[in-house]
Structure formats: C-alpha cells, structure tokens
Amino acid sequence: MSITSAVGTSFAIASTYGTAATITAITNDNPAVATLSAAHGVIVGDIIEVTSGWDRLNGRLVRVSAVATNDVTLEGIDTSSVTNYPAGTGTGSVREITAWTQITQITADFAVTGGGQQYADVTTLADRTQKRIPTVRDPIDITLPLFDDPSLSWYSTVQTASETATVTGVRIEIPNNSQLLANGYWTLQKTPTVSDSTLRGEISISLSAEPTRYAT
C-alpha cells in the first residue's frame, strides 16, 4: 500500500493556446494516432486540447508521446473500440496549450467531488431482488478555497474564463509524480468572505470532459 500526502499539490490554469491544427484522420488503436495538417508544430511532450467527432475524446486534454511527421500519438488514449469510437468519424482539430499559470494561495481544504456512477432501476415485477444497470456518471467539480488577493498573476486569467464561461484547461500536479489534465468551466467568487480574520475567495471548476492522468 502506498499513501501520498496532499501537501505540495498545485493547480494551474491554461493561460495561452496555440493555433489549431486539423485532424485529417485518427486511428482506432491503443494508443490512438492522429494525422494532423502540415506545419502543425506539435512535438513530443506537448499538452493538446482535442476537438473530435468522437464524444468520448472530444474536449479532452492529452499528452503527445510520439510524432512522426504529421502522425501524432495520443498518450493513454484507447480508441480501439469501434462501438465507442466509430471508424472514420473522429476527425476534428487539436491545439497546444503553450502556457500555464499556477493558482497560488490555495488553502489546504480543497475538494474534488462527483464522478460517481449513476444507475437505472430495471427491476421487474417477477424479480425478488432489485436490479440496476449503469448509466452516466456524476459531473466532477473541483473547489479551491484560497486567500483573496486580486493582484495575483493568475487572477485576471481566471476572471476572464469565469466571466466568458469559456472551457479552459486545468492542470493538477500531484506529489506522487503524476499529473491530472482536464477541461472545465471556471467560476471565480470575486466577493471575499472572512475566516479567521482573513479575506478568503474561492474558485470552482466544473469538468466538461474526462480527465487524463499521466506520470511525470
């Protein structure tokens, strides 16, 4: 068993994006390989946002593990199921996240909620035991309580994402040498509250696509 302390966990918001490159083809494979338009500029290690005709891939943040001319390997993305990823329908675009801005002054009691499985009741009159089948999962929400300071470097970026309701990337660096990448809607509480005689604020992030976890 391995237990990891949360001390040292950090959060960052995607603050700059590159120009979108078209996905002209994408494989049903593990990992998936996307063929991009020429002069895409993507290199190994880049974090890219994927827009795809495949709902299960659309909007996800992915790390690039290999590049062969225009063929880009999407690390950790398994599209081998043609049921979930119908062949020939996954094209779209990618854009690189070129800069992140760390969210500072987060207090120790941040929270991640949701993600639980929901079920539909399919019990019939003849059943003696209730039967259920899985349906969708609950949305995942991240809450970041923090010490209020609108002069901090990240404040304007988060405020813009909040006021425009723009889906924006979040990166979570975890002390056990891993990171979580996800897209979501950011909300900034601009009116501070008071706790222990200090001004407090809050950021909430409602994830819009499945997060991806990588070793760092």
Percent residues over pLDDT 90 in the chain? 90
Asked if residue 180 and residue 138 are part of one domain, the reply reads: yes
pTM: 0.91
The model's pLDDT over 63-83, given as tens digits with 9 standing for 90+, comes to 999 999 999 999 999 999 999
Instruction: Give percent above pLDDT 70 in the chain.
Output: 100
Give per-residue pLDDT as tens, 157-182. 999 999 999 999 999 999 888 999 99
Would you tell me how many other CB atoms lie within 10 Å of the CB of residue 177? 10
pLDDT tens for each residue of 104-146: 999 988 899 999 999 999 999 999 999 999 999 899 999 999 9
CATH code of 59's domain? 2.40.30.180
Give the separation between CA 11 and CA 50, rounded to whole angstroms.
Answer: 21
Structural domain containing residue 184: 102-215
Considering the domain architecture, whether residues 85 and 127 belong to the same structural domain is answered as no
Could you tell me if 107 and 77 lie in one domain? no
The mean pLDDT of the chain is 95
CA separation, residue 43 to residues 14, 36, 47, 117, 193 (Å) = 18, 12, 9, 36, 44
Whether residue 89 sits in one domain with residue 107: no
- 95 pLDDT band, cuts 50/70/90, is very high
Is there a single domain that holds both residue 131 and residue 197? yes
